[in-house]
Structure 1
Amino acid sequence: MKHNIPLGTKRWLTVVSEEDPDGTELLPEPSDHPATKPFKDALVADGIAVHSFQVQDLDAEWKKLSERGVEFVTEPMDAGAVHMAVFDDTCGNLIQLI
């Protein structure tokens, strides 16, 4: 976690990689809007990733994340011109790495 700022009953949280604390900073959005669950469920049911991130070496990232317990729903594969893998973020989202 990089930022943790109280905002009434909510918090402004951002996360970064421990390996690159000055790198990409993610801001997870709250999921309490009534449309969020049906939307996320529909994306997962159709196998659609909500986010996609490019990494330098997909096979190395897949191995590292798998060893840390990340469950991939799609192991590294070629999809046309893209080498990709998809994992479940445990919060109801699919995340694609390319």
Structure 2
Amino acid sequence: MRINLTSVFVEDQEKALRFYTDVLGFVKKHDVPLGGEDRWLTLVSPEDPDGTELLLEPNKHPAVKPYTTALVEDGIPATAFAVDDVRAEFDRLSELGVRFTQEPTEMGPVTTAVLDDTCGNLIQIMQSA
């Protein structure tokens, strides 16, 4: 068994697509219309194009907004992405205007930072020692 797909709820799929590709560097894998404005929109890491896909899922279900709002208010990331160097990625993304809610912080065997994805989520980036 392996993880094939994970998702983050987003307020606007097109805005999320731009942020996650143009800023974070993911690449679009699938973009399938589902009727109306919704799409089956997945991304992958350019380093692993056949790896785990990230679904940019519309946040239209009534349970989503209270859930994501509570996570953000409590400072809890919706998901985490591995990077080779958290400090370098923090600097690169900061130069692009990304807002961080947590600067690089060493936590035992990992260093983490938390960013605002502009689409309703906090996202953690992490580097293992």
TM-score range, shorter chain: 0.7 to 0.9
After the TM superposition, list the runs of 4 or more consecutive aligned residues in structure 1 that deviate by more than 4 angstroms: none
Bigger strand fraction: 2
The answer to whether structure 1 residue 53 and structure 2 residue 81 are counterparts is yes
Scaled by the length of structure 1, what TM-score is found?
A: 0.85
From 41, 59, 65, the counterpart of 2:93: 65
Corresponding residue SS for 1:87: strand
Residue matched to 2:113? 85
Scaled by the length of structure 2, what TM-score is found?
A: 0.67
Q: What is the rounded CA distance, in whole Å, between the counterparts of 2:30 and 2:81 in structure 1?
A: 21
Query: What CA RMSD, in Å, does the superposition of the two structures yield over aligned residues?
Result: 1.8
The answer to whether structure 1 residue 4 and structure 2 residue 21 are counterparts is no
Residue matched to 1:28? 56
Amino acid at match of 1:11: R
Amino acid at match of 2:110: V
The unaligned stretches of length 5 or more in structure 2 are 1-27
Greater relative CO, 1 or 2 (CA 8 Å, sep 6+): 2
